[in-house]
Structure 1
Amino acid sequence: MKTIRSWPLAGLLIALGAQADGLVTPAIDGVVAAGTAIVLIKEDFKGTEGPIALPDGSVAFTEGQANRITRIAADNSVSSYLENSGGANGLAFNSAGELIAVVTAKPGIAVLAPAGKERVLVDQYEGTALNRPNDLVVDKKGGVYFTDPGARPEAGKPASKTAVYYLPPKGALKQLATDIERPNGIQLSPDEKTLYVANTFGDHVLAYDIKKDGSVGARRNFAKLDGVTQNDIGGITSGADGLAVDAKGRLYVASAAGVQVFDSKGAALGTIALPKAPQNLAFAGEGKKTLYVVGRGAAYRIAVLTPGFAGRVK
């Protein structure tokens, strides 16, 4: 499928095609109505990660293999948002409107835009280089929580160290957790009292109570994931990846099973299955009433009943 750049009708045609193929949602109370179209926007992207809402309501996500950040407009047209992204993965904006990203070309957290403001925020912890940071979320103080799952483990080889970190607005990087098999997506509850971490090599999304200084309390299991299977290194995998929250504090998890939705207490509400396993997701569009889901080179959009949380870009 060719990239659509400026023809508004093309988005409608794609949406009609997706509906004709029978891609629809189940009923999930307060989340989606039964039979809501799952609209295929485009396939064959060169990587699909890190979606966030842009100030104009459109959505941006990272194409890591193309070293690019890509924008999807309201009419489903696709264009380049930022080239030479440093291998960006997770994205966020701070209160100053600066685009912050996890970068992988030289692993770290960096400001990518606006032009002239580019800088590295952190690339090491206590003198040791970070392994391969993956996802991030910015709190209302301007602090950055991020995961570092390291390189993907291989059978017979030592696993790289994994960690979850917090970079406060001022001061040194804090290491919050080192006992998660593969920390991946990361998100805050709307009230910023809870930190969620997706453990790809586990069967639960994890949660931590957040302290006043940004550090966290003890790890606990928050939400039990479906679709857990054996991985190729002798353990288990849920495929848990990106996380997002809506205005009611529900947690949306991109996983091997699809988009799994949980209430604010961790109870399972339902799953939206997709043709390809999703990697990440974000609310965007007018009023943040559209859920954008990306993964395995494809991007989809789904109209939702409850908008995304308005207090952050994701």
Structure 2
Amino acid sequence: MKRFVVFSLMLFLSGGLFAQNSSLYNASAVPKLVSNQFAFTEGPAVDKQGNVFFTDQPNNKIWKYGTDGKLSVFMDSAGRANGTYFDSHGNLIVCADEHNQLWQVRPDKKVLVLLTNYQGKLFNGPNDLWIDKKDNIYFTDPYYQRDYWTRTKPDLSSQKVFVLMKGQSKPIALDSMVRPNGIVGTPDGKNLFVADIGDNKIYKYNIDTNGMLSNRQLFFAQGADGITLDERGNLYLAGNGVTIVNPQGQKIAHIDVPESWTANICFGGKDRRTLFITASKAVYTMQMNVRGVE
């Protein structure tokens, strides 16, 4: 009898997991290769029309994947762009780690350098970012030694999460981690998720009314590169494929991606139901039954 109960419980749990998977995407859905012509893809961001912009960091380019399915180069000499995100005015905010800066790239491709340092010291290398509805910019600053740098060690003593408040010229340090990486906030602006890839953890914070962070909690015991959210509050973790975690911090699905590393993800397309995946030398798309919230 005991074995039967255990077996029945396993069937119930696996059935529940399958039901959650099937509600997110069809059972037959798999990532579809768009192109593998790149050196290393990163930093996808979606504009108001649903076009996705992403970076090829070693080749120093920002690409556009249009809602028509066409690829085009948006920008050359892109500051070795890594993470990107659109602000409310349609400017692409870029983690430009060639010189460890934060850029604003206007639709006409004119560049404004927003940040060059923290308290007179070079950033480690701004990596990923999220912008709230007030246009406050939250970003991570891990240290990854680049072959195009002349320095061989960081200027800063730790690796932090920062915010640049709208209209301000100086960033505010919010928290320190082993190696912060992916970052995303909820649409209501109440919570922020940050991946500490150096400590194999995802943390969740409250965002206070003044834009500062409080109540740091361990959300999920797995690291990640880029992260994003869907309309149900599920968190998508890039790294070994794509892991999907529900709002309670439970793994509910995993999407296999046929590349050695999945660096980042976002939802694009006119209906925001296309999961766009940057993975090593390639980019992929996968049709979903849920919408993204970025």
* TM-score normalised by the chain length of structure 1: 0.80
- Residues 42 and 263 of structure 2 are in contact (CA less than 8 Å); yes or no, is this contact kept in structure 1? yes
Separation in structure 2 between the aligned mates of residue 59 and residue 116 of structure 1, nearest angstrom: 16
Q: Is the CA contact 2:46–2:86 (under 8 Å) kept in the aligned structure 1? A: no
- Unaligned runs of 5+ residues in structure 2 are 1-17, 147-151
Equivalent residue for 1:206? Answer: 203
Query: What residue number does 1:132 align with?
Result: 125
Q: Which of 253, 270, 281 is matched with 1:270 structurally? A: 253
One of 172, 192, 197 as aligned partner of 2:194: 197
SS at match of 1:247: coil
Q: How far off its partner does 1:50 sit?
A: 0.5
Matched, 1:89 2:82: yes
Q: How does 1:237-252 map to 2 (within 5 A)?
A: 238=223, 240-252=224-236
In 1, Cα distance between the equivalents of 2:106 and 2:258? 34
- Alignment counterpart, residue 172 of structure 2, candidates 171, 174, 178: 174
Q: Aligned equivalents of 1:123 and 1:265: distance in 2?
A: 38
**CA distance, structure 2, for counterparts of residue 218 and residue 123 of structure 1:** 29
Report SS of the residue matched to 1:30.
helix
Contact preservation (8 Å) 1:85, 1:112: no
Q: 1:242 deviation in Å?
A: 0.5
Q: For 2:160 and 2:199, how far apart are their aligned partners in 1? A: 15
Shift of 1:270: 1.0
Question: SS at 2:244's partner residue?
Answer: strand
- Deviates most, 288-297 or 122-131: 122-131
The CA RMSD over aligned residues, in Å, is 2.0
What amino acid is aligned across from residue 173 of structure 2 in structure 1? Answer: Q
Q: d(CA) in 1 for partners of 2:243 and 2:114? A: 33
> Quick one: which amino acid aligns to residue 44 of structure 1?
Q
What is the deviation of 1:51? Answer: 0.5
Q: What SS does the corresponding residue of 1:219 show, helix, strand or coil?
A: strand
Provide the C-alpha distance between the structure 1 equivalents of 2:40 and 2:188, rounded to a whole number of angstroms. Answer: 32
Unaligned runs of 5+ in 1: 1-25, 226-237
Verify: 1:164 aligned to 2:147, yes or no. Answer: no
Give the residue type in structure 1 aligned to 2:135: G
Q: Deviations over 1:56-102 (max 9, x none)?
A: 32211001111111112345332111112111111111112111101
1:162 Cα offset (Å) = 0.6
Letter in 2 for 1:274: V
C-alpha separation in 1, matches of 2:117 and 2:210: 20
| C-alpha distance in 1 between matches for 2:217 and 2:22 | 26
TM-score calculated relative to the size of structure 2: 0.85
The superposition leaves residues 169-190 of structure 1 with CA deviations (integer Å, 9 ceiling, x where unpaired) of: 1333110111x11100110022
User: CA offset at residue 265 of structure 1?
Assistant: 2.2
User: Residue 143 in 1 paired to residue 127 in 2?
Assistant: no
The answer as to whether partners of 1:190 and 1:245 remain within 8 angstroms in 2 is no
Identical amino acids, percent of aligned pairs: 32
Q: Secondary structure at the match of 1:288?
A: coil
Distance 1:113 1:46, change over 3 A: farther
